[in-house]
């Protein structure tokens, strides 16, 4: 933990910044771009897969992989907190679907504990910038889910919204270690390296070889070469995983090239109607390139992927040599290549050459990376104004040690040093966690301390479309402050 005097100085800097420039974002930017609307399809195509072998033990390559993968912090358990929207069927929509019955819970403007989880310790949480549902992994590896469920994305075998976290019964006998959430689908990874998926599959985002729209119970996603899977990530309607050989596979909707197979899958159904061939089975992302200033493209060798994150329609990865690659939809500069162009194959982000990168993160239309605790940002968090076309340090977070990053559609939440810092444009649903006291600020263009969590040590943050989940340390010394937080009980809404 940081020196208390240093912490006070950093907080004072953020407060001064907020008072002096309340309307000026400290994330510098250059150009303005417009996001086109997406399309949907139900078409499929066959896939061709290739395999590689693991590096030999003791080799330079194996050492690089060990170092890259050991950077991930160990799972630390604690108490789950939530802020933001709990009206799962309404958030992000103009009206509640007729089948919903009611809109659900209120907007929680400050972090709350969840009544039914008061005595359950949580080791990891997952949601996504387009997700209105969440996955909870308990201390013993039991997995729970709650939120929107109109495509079976909660894995309970039905399409009924679940306001209170509920155990996924068909996964009770597995130890779950990681999960990821798309717009309407979910991937869950076990300690044995087995990957399960459930929810919407209209774009083949569950990798089952078909495009049945709803798969409400967990089904195994089979690696084409029967390798163990070590990490997974979800875009809005596509999916990725890394296997034990550090190879990357993708499947689902290819519209902007976000699958990395050098195609957007487009074809003409009629003379004026486009559709897409979706990848219905996991397919190896085989080629990674670097484009030089003189216009030449070089294929890069020895790319072993250790980290992956997906936005709505783009992907960012880090390899064992700390090289960062992005591809997919290029609108708003989210790819960091200084031009609003879609990339259909993974392309090196030249800005990070020579830098040590500890993690990469993707929001709906922006990307971030952490290097030596410093946060870098590119893209845009709103649909108007200027976009940041290449990575730039978030100046307000200079000197802070960023430990955990949560990416919402437009909001960003960080666990840094001993505090939680967040910012994002209006409208918000409470995912920034500021509370309604001290003037009732609901949004902020600059990074701002989440005051209701001061004194509470947050180990992990995770954002959905309009909500944030926090895992708070719950040692004896922490409990007095945790017990003072308001409690959210869905049964009493």
Q: What is the pLDDT of residues 342-398, one digit of tens each?
A: 999 999 999 999 999 999 999 999 999 999 889 999 999 987 778 999 999 999 999
The reply to whether 234 falls in a domain is yes
The reply to whether 47 falls in a domain is no
How many structural domains compose the chain?
A: 1
Q: Can you tell me the mean pLDDT for 457-469?
A: 98
Give the predicted TM-score (pTM) of the model.
Answer: 0.87
* Residue 298 contacts residue 289 (beta carbons within 8 Å): yes
Q: Can you tell me the mean pLDDT for 36-50?
A: 35
The reply to whether 444 falls in a domain is yes
Residues 6+ apart with CB under 8 A from 227: 51, 193, 243, 244, 245, 247
Which tokens go with 434?
Answer: 């500021």
Q: Which helix (H) or strand (E) holds 403?
A: strand 402-407
Higher per-residue pLDDT: 44 or 69: 69
The reply to whether 362 falls in a domain is yes
Cα 21 → chain centroid: 29
The reply to whether 172 falls in a domain is yes
As a whole number of angstroms, the distance between CA 126 and CA 315 comes to 17
Of the listed ranges 65-79, 233-247, 296-310, the one predicted with least confidence: 65-79
Of the listed ranges 118-122, 270-274, 286-290, 318-322, the one predicted with least confidence: 270-274
The reply to whether 75 falls in a domain is no
The reply to whether 197 falls in a domain is yes
State the pairing for strand pair 79-85/107-114.
antiparallel
Measured CA distances, 145 to 90, 142, 163, 176, 186 (Å): 18, 10, 9, 12, 10
pLDDT number for residue 64: 58
pLDDT number for residue 292: 86
Cis peptide preceding 427, ω within 30 of 0? yes
Q: Residue 415 is part of which domain span?
A: 113-264+278-488
Domain at 155, CATH number: 2.130.10.30
15 phi/psi in degrees, rounded to 5: -65, -45
pLDDT, mean over the chain: 87
Higher per-residue pLDDT: 13 or 422: 422
Provide long-range contacts, Cβ within 8 A and 24+ apart, for 50-57: 50/284, 50/286, 51/224, 51/225, 51/227, 51/245, 51/247, 51/284, 52/245, 52/247, 53/245, 54/244, 54/245, 55/304
pLDDT tens profile 474-493: 999 999 999 999 999 998 87
pLDDT number for residue 11: 64
Statement: residue 469 has pLDDT above 50: yes
Q: Name the nearest CA neighbour of 10 among 418, 433, 452, 412.
A: 418
Statement: residue 69 has pLDDT above 50: yes
Q: Can you tell me the mean pLDDT for 137-155?
A: 97
Q: Name the nearest CA neighbour of 232 among 267, 200, 188.
A: 188
What is residue 397's DSSP assignment? G
As a whole number of angstroms, the distance between CA 364 and CA 258 comes to 13
* Residue 388 contacts residue 333 (beta carbons within 8 Å): yes
As a whole number of angstroms, the distance between CA 168 and CA 149 comes to 13
Statement: residue 264 has pLDDT above 50: yes
* Residue 435 contacts residue 110 (beta carbons within 8 Å): yes
What is residue 427's DSSP assignment? P
Higher per-residue pLDDT: 155 or 44: 155
Statement: residue 12 has pLDDT above 70: no
Q: Is 277 exposed, middle or buried (0-12, 13-18, 19+ CB in 10 A)?
A: middle
The reply to whether 320 falls in a domain is yes
Q: Which helix (H) or strand (E) holds 230?
A: strand 229-234
Q: Can you tell me the mean pLDDT for 277-287?
A: 97
Of the listed ranges 18-32, 105-119, 183-197, 336-350, the one predicted with least confidence: 18-32
| Whole-number percent of the chain with pLDDT over 90 | 74
Q: Can you tell me the mean pLDDT for 28-44?
A: 37
Statement: residue 334 has pLDDT above 80: yes
As a whole number of angstroms, the distance between CA 470 and CA 431 comes to 11
Q: How many C-beta neighbours within 10 Å does residue 345 have?
A: 19
Task: Calculate Rg over the CA atoms of the chain.
Answer: 21
Of the listed ranges 62-71, 198-207, 355-364, the one predicted with least confidence: 62-71
Statement: residue 34 has pLDDT above 50: no
As a whole number of angstroms, the distance between CA 106 and CA 109 comes to 9
């Amino acid at each position: 933990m940081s020196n208390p005097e240093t912490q006070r100085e950093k907080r004072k800097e953020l407060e001064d910044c907020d008072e002096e420039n309340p309307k000026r974002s400290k994330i510098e930017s250059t150009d303005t771009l417009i996001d086109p609307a997406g399309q949907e399809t139900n078409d499929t195509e066959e896939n061709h897969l290739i395999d590689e072998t693991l590096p030999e033990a003791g080799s330079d390559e194996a050492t690089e992989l060990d170092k890259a993968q050991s950077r991930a912090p160990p799972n630390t358990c604690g108490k789950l907190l939530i802020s933001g929207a709990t009206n799962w069927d309404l958030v992000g929509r103009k009206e509640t679907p007729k089948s919903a019955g009611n809109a659900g819970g209120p907007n929680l403007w400050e972090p709350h504990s969840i009544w039914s989880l008061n005595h359950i310790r949580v080791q990891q949480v997952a949601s996504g910038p387009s997700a209105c549902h969440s996955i909870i992994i308990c201390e013993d590896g039991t997995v729970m889910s709650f939120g929107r469920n109109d495509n079976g994305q909660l894995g309970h075998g039905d399409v009924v919204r679940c306001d209170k976290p509920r155990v996924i019964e068909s996964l009770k006998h597995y130890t779950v270690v990681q999960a990821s959430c798309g717009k309407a689908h979910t991937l869950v990874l076990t300690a044995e390296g087995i990957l399960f998926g459930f929810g919407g599959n209209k774009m083949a985002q569950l990798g089952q070889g078909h495009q049945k729209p709803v798969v409400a119970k967990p089904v195994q996603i089979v690696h084409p070469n029967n390798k163990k899977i070590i990490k997974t990530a979800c875009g809005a309607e596509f999916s990725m995983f890394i296997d034990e050989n550090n190879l990357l596979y993708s499947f689902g909707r290819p519209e902007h090239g976000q699958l990395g197979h050098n195609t957007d899958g487009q074809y003409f159904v009629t003379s004026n109607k486009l559709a897409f061939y979706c990848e219905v089975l996991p397919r190896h992302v085989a080629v990674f390139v670097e484009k030089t200033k003189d216009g030449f493209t070089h294929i890069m060798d020895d790319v072993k992927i250790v980290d992956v994150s997906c936005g709505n329609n783009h992907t960012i990865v880090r390899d064992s040599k700390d090289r960062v690659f992005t591809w997919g939809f290029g609108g708003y500069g989210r790819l960091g290549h200084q031009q609003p162009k879609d990339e259909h194959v993974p392309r090196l982000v030249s800005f990070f050459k020579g830098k040590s990168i500890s993690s990469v993160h993707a929001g709906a239309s922006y990307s971030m990376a952490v290097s030596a605790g410093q946060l870098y940002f590119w893209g845009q968090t709103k649909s108007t104004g200027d976009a940041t076309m290449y990575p730039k340090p978030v100046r307000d977070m200079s000197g802070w040690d960023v430990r955990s990053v949560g990416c919402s559609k437009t909001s960003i939440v960080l666990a840094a040093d001993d505090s939680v810092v967040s910012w994002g444009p209006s409208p918000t649903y409470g995912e920034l966690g500021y509370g309604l006291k001290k003037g009732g600020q609901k949004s902020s263009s600059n990074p701002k301390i989440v005051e209701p969590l001061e004194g509470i040590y947050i180990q992990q943050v995770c954002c959905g479309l309009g909500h944030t989940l926090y895992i708070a340390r719950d040692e004896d010394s922490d409990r007095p402050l945790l017990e003072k937080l308001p409690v959210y009980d869905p049964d009493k809404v």
